[in-house]
Amino acid sequence: MDRLSLRNLCCLFCCPPWPGKIISKLAFLPPEPTYTLRCDGSGSRWTLDLSDGAGWQHSPREKEALECFLTKTSKGNRMACMFVRCSPEAKYTLLFSHGNAADLGQMSSFYVGLASRIKCNIFSYDYSGYGASSGKPTEKNLYADIEAAWVALKTRYGIRPENVIIYGQSLGTVPSVDLAARHESAAVILHAPLTSGVRLAFPKIKKTYWFDAFPNIDKISTITSPVLIIHGTDDEVIDFSHGLPLFERCQKPVEPLWVEGAEHNNVELYRQYYERLKQFVSEELLDL
């Protein structure tokens, strides 16, 4: 059924201000920050201090190898960034937009492990209002945040678009799809993606309404880079049914990874997750 029911319309419109803003507000769950950034006297070098909540799993030496800094977005927000260098010879860098209810501190151990296993550098950032980033989390700020990260990759590190893999996880697929629709890159990886905000709240809706937030379903067909979609079949947060229509609308889809039995937050615990990423990065992209 394409039309919203009367009950659904009431749920959306009877709560000011606007439905899209309501969905957007409900979507953001920034955790208590699990890290701080300390600047040295020169104002150019930042030190990462992790709290116990970050759950760091590696050695102090590996933590020292994480390069962190602050940059500004077009919206004027201060944004925390993290660069995880696997090796100077790594061909690709993942521009990683993490999921909801997480920040760079919580993700840092995962980034180090992922970079080592798939032999890629990782560049990540915290959304406005998350971690050490200032401002408020909104849909518009999401797009400004990832654009600032894209610019930092080019200007600070000299990384060319053809060496960037745009990786979005869960909520992070929203800025990732938007960026990939505007900039060509080596590839795009969408991990547990959603089709749109309204469709997430009302799964039977097939049409994109003017007030819908996060309309990945309408943007994905304009992406000209190869797209790999990863989704757990038992995802309890973003149903597996979201991944399928996105895959079908890709211009250049590659073989997706449907992880049988995986839920929203444990796909990374399955062996095939790393196997598929390694195959994609080290073999398939070289032939595309």
Q: Among this protein's residues, is 170 annotated catalytic? A: yes
Over the stretch 219-249, which tens digit does the pLDDT of each residue have? 999 999 999 999 999 999 999 999 999 999 9
pLDDT, position 17: 42
Quick one: tokens of 150?
A: 């894209």
CATH of 6-287, one of 3.40.50.300, 3.20.20.140, 2.70.70.10, 3.40.50.1820: 3.40.50.1820
Separation between Cα atoms, residue 53 and residue 124, nearest integer Å: 19
Q: Please provide residue 125's backbone torsions phi and psi, each rounded to the nearest 5 degrees.
A: -155, 160
Cβ contacts of residue 98 below 8 Å, gap of 6+? 104, 107, 124, 169, 172
Position 122 confidence tier, pLDDT thresholds 50, 70, 90: very high
pLDDT, position 202: 77
| From 191, 235, 239, 242, active-site residue | 235
Position 21 confidence tier, pLDDT thresholds 50, 70, 90: low
Q: Note whether 191 and 170 are within 8 A (CB).
A: yes
Position 9 confidence tier, pLDDT thresholds 50, 70, 90: very low
Q: Among this protein's residues, is 218 annotated catalytic? A: no
Over the stretch 36-71, which tens digit does the pLDDT of each residue have? 999 887 767 899 999 999 999 999 989 988 999 999
Q: What is the average pLDDT score of the chain?
A: 90
pLDDT for residue 142 is more than 80: yes
Q: Among this protein's residues, is 239 annotated catalytic? A: no
Position 34 confidence tier, pLDDT thresholds 50, 70, 90: very high
Quick one: tokens of 171?
A: 């909520």
Judge if pTM exceeds 0.85: yes
In this structure, of 17-31, 73-87, 134-148, 227-241, the range with the lowest mean pLDDT score is: 17-31
Residue 287's nearest CA partner among 258, 246, 249, 254 is 254
| From 97, 128, 170, 185, active-site residue | 170
pLDDT for residue 177 is more than 90: yes
Position 4 confidence tier, pLDDT thresholds 50, 70, 90: very low
| From 98, 191, 242, 264, active-site residue | 264
pLDDT for residue 22 is more than 60: no
Position 15 confidence tier, pLDDT thresholds 50, 70, 90: very low
pLDDT for residue 18 is more than 50: no
Residues in the chain: 288
Separation between Cα atoms, residue 125 and residue 133, nearest integer Å: 9
pLDDT, position 31: 95
